A and B are shown apart, each in its own frame.
Chain A
């Protein structure tokens, strides 16, 4: 009974803190803009199964991809066991799912195997991060705190897996010693039963209880650290994939506000009509976080800072300032900085800073070739180029700011219908003197 009470209080604290954190993050969404409507659920479900559960994009890097997939699938399997533990804790039951029979064997066996596989993967990840200097984990946006963040989360996961395995071993030992039936199947832990020197039933039971509490408290701690960490992706990557932009990579979103203006301009009927007094058109493009769409903010929260985007960016690879990962991290950081002010003072709040220029420089934006390698690579379908172009849209349409050569391109297109200063009269020169071929 005491255990139940302590557990219930711990759980309530955990959920309380978690709800507090999440609600703080969620309220910033109301300052973001509408984006594409969420339709096409069956297609979205398919993308989620493929990209999130199938880990298809992670596998574009086969070695680390495979290890990550093990960790991900391991989490999915072990989650069932964690739910059982939490229910046991609340209800004061012992192995609530035991009546599931064969299914229980499958759940426990896969959890037991995956605990070790995940632990091995995590050790390799930690080794890579600490001892190998891997280019992808570096960059101007990667501060010491980014590395601490990554390594802390990895260590926590490792401890979670070790405590789980320890718990299984102590349980098997305990049941064997008393000649009682072992509920579930534990292929790996069974094999490790000799590790414990304690031979008394009481001692083993204490070991079991300790691991049980360590494991559950680590889960609670982990869950509450995640929203502050790059590992928020544990919660957000699956929904982020589900909410993916389903359009082809090459398609930039149409600006409906501009379309209205252009149509009015091209339509002779509207020339003499008074300007419509409908709601004023907002700012074109993106200057600060209140101009971004909810999806972009979601992307920034779900970003794992894995750097696959930056590692394939042609601009970054050749030493330009642009790093697609930084763009996403800047969005998240900027909302964190400006969000509280927006909540307090409303939409008009300004802190004399903006995402563009104070965090993301113009130089970064003009380095992008819109090649979409970053978006193709992102394991959770973040689309960086649309945001980069949205910031260019702000620069060009609100500030008339563009590199000189680009301005020349604009005026050439306007005047001669081509980016170069050639006369449309010469458009057919290529076809003069073409020989016919016989096949």
Chain B
């Protein structure tokens, strides 16, 4: 962002990478995939790079309102200095916080989830995933709570997946009934409280009951949880856990994979 500004350019979108996109090995690939699609679509966008910091979401949900607000105000100031109006997110938690919580502190933006953006690009014909790549591959989609229940993004991922495979199957609990992966509200960063079972195992088993070849996710934390579940079940070879955008990348540029 700073580089573009130095050149006197003003990008239309801020692509907010998020901590997982920046630091998590697995989700770095997702961030890369989305960035490549943005570039390929010739979208005017920029990232904040080293200037990006936490939205404050995990702090807020763990009860540290003070820290959340300090992060939020810092970000709002930064966005103001770059005159940012549209934000693209790949993380549902960042999305929810920007969209629903920043306005209270004076930061109102058009916040767009990458799924909404990709769905629109496909609908408008700008992005054409090749349906033969996945063909009959059996895919089940796990709804992240922060996109689904909390922001009603249920149809976009399904529309995208249905463009790529003829074999999208639903888990027993789906859409607004979907079971959490167990990572939200700060849980991702701590050991689970005492119980009989890990939540991600419960969800992974449910996903496996649909006998999928791919479990599609749309959240970095869901991805870690489901991938861990697959490892514990010794299924990581047979069943792949891919982000929706990673599937798109495969379907639009099969040669490079």
Residue from B54, B67, B189, B199 in contact with A315 in the complex, judged by beta carbons closer than 8 Å: B199
Proximity bits, A355-391, B CB within 8 Å = 1, else 0: 0000000010011111111001000000001000101
Question: Could you tell me the distance in whole angstroms from the C-beta of A1 to the nearest C-beta in chain B?
Answer: 59
Proximity bits, B179-223, A CB within 8 Å = 1, else 0: 110111111011111111111011100000000000000000000
Answer yes or no: B4 CB below 8 A from chain A CBs.
no
Q: Which of A45-78 contact B (CB under 8 A)?
A: 60
CB–CB B66/A439 < 8 A: no
Answer yes or no: A317 CB below 8 A from chain B CBs.
yes
Interface size class of A (residues with CB under 8 A): 35 or more
Answer yes or no: A247 CB below 8 A from chain B CBs.
yes
CB–CB B149/A371 < 8 A: yes
Answer yes or no: B165 CB below 8 A from chain A CBs.
no
CB–CB B150/A248 < 8 A: yes
CB–CB B105/A254 < 8 A: yes
Number of A-B contacts (CB under 8 A): 230
Q: Which of B67-99 contact A (CB under 8 A)?
A: 67, 69-71, 73-74, 96
Answer yes or no: A102 CB below 8 A from chain B CBs.
no
B residues near A249, Cβ cutoff 8 Å:
149-150
B residues near A439, Cβ cutoff 8 Å:
40, 127-128, 252-253
Answer yes or no: A182 CB below 8 A from chain B CBs.
no
CB–CB A420/B19 < 8 A: yes
CA of A252 to CA of B57, assembled, Å? 10
CA of A340 to CA of B104, assembled, Å? 37
CB–CB B187/A369 < 8 A: yes
Interface residues in B, total, Cβ within 8 A: 76
Answer yes or no: B112 CB below 8 A from chain A CBs.
no
CB–CB A430/B195 < 8 A: no
A428 in contact with B47 given A251-B101, A255-B65, A369-B183 (CB within 8 Å)? yes
Answer yes or no: B174 CB below 8 A from chain A CBs.
no
Q: Which of B1-49 contact A (CB under 8 A)?
A: 17, 19, 21-23, 28-29, 31-32, 35-37, 39-40, 47, 49
- Which of B59, B189, B193 gathers the greatest number of chain A CB atoms within 10 Å? B193
CA of A288 to CA of B191, assembled, Å? 27
Answer yes or no: A434 CB below 8 A from chain B CBs.
yes
CB–CB A248/B151 < 8 A: yes
B residues near A250, Cβ cutoff 8 Å:
96, 100, 146, 149-151
Residue from A262, A321, A370 in contact with B69 in the complex, judged by beta carbons closer than 8 Å: A262
A252 in contact with B199 given A315-B193, A406-B190 (CB within 8 Å)? no
Answer yes or no: B229 CB below 8 A from chain A CBs.
no
B residues near A86, Cβ cutoff 8 Å:
none
Question: Could you tell me the distance in whole angstroms from the C-beta of B104 to the nearest C-beta in chain A?
Answer: 4
CB–CB B50/A425 < 8 A: yes
CB–CB A392/B62 < 8 A: yes
- Which of B28, B49, B149, B253 gathers the greatest number of chain A CB atoms within 10 Å? B149
CB–CB A315/B195 < 8 A: yes
Chain B at the A interface: mostly helix, strand, loop or mixed? Answer: helix
Answer yes or no: B56 CB below 8 A from chain A CBs.
yes
Give the residue name and chain of the A residue nearest to B147 (CB): A250
B residues near A266, Cβ cutoff 8 Å:
70, 73-74
Q: Which of A234-262 contact B (CB under 8 A)?
A: 247-252, 254-255, 258-259, 261-262
CB–CB A252/B101 < 8 A: yes
Q: Which of B98-122 contact A (CB under 8 A)?
A: 100-101, 104-105
Answer yes or no: A318 CB below 8 A from chain B CBs.
yes
A413 in contact with B182 given A320-B195, A436-B39 (CB within 8 Å)? no
- Which of A247, A250, A402 gathers the greatest number of chain B CB atoms within 10 Å? A250
CB–CB A430/B180 < 8 A: no
A residues near B23, Cβ cutoff 8 Å:
418, 420, 422, 426-427
Answer yes or no: B236 CB below 8 A from chain A CBs.
no
Answer yes or no: B167 CB below 8 A from chain A CBs.
no
Give the residue name and chain of the B residue nearest to A433 (CB): B32
Proximity bits, B122-143, A CB within 8 Å = 1, else 0: 0000011000000000000000
List residues of B whose CB falls within 8 A of some A CB. Answer: 17, 19, 21-23, 28-29, 31-32, 35-37, 39-40, 47, 49-50, 52-54, 56, 58-67, 69-71, 73-74, 96, 100-101, 104-105, 127-128, 145-146, 149-151, 176-177, 179-180, 182-187, 189-199, 201-203, 249, 252-253, 256
Given A317-B202, A320-B192, A373-B177, 9 more A-B residue pairs with CB atoms under 8 Å apart are A250-B96, A254-B101, A317-B179, A318-B196, A318-B201, A321-B195, A369-B180, A406-B186, A428-B22
5 residue pairs from A and B, CB less than 8 Å apart: A250-B96, A262-B66, A263-B73, A285-B63, A369-B199
List residues of A whose CB falls within 8 A of some B CB. Answer: 60, 247-252, 254-255, 258-259, 261-263, 265-266, 284-285, 312, 314-315, 317-322, 363, 366-373, 376, 385, 389, 391-397, 402-403, 405-406, 408-410, 413-414, 417-420, 422, 424-431, 434-439
A-B CB proximity, top 10 nearest: A319-B196, A250-B150, A392-B63, A417-B53, A370-B185, A371-B180, A396-B63, A430-B28, A319-B195, A251-B100
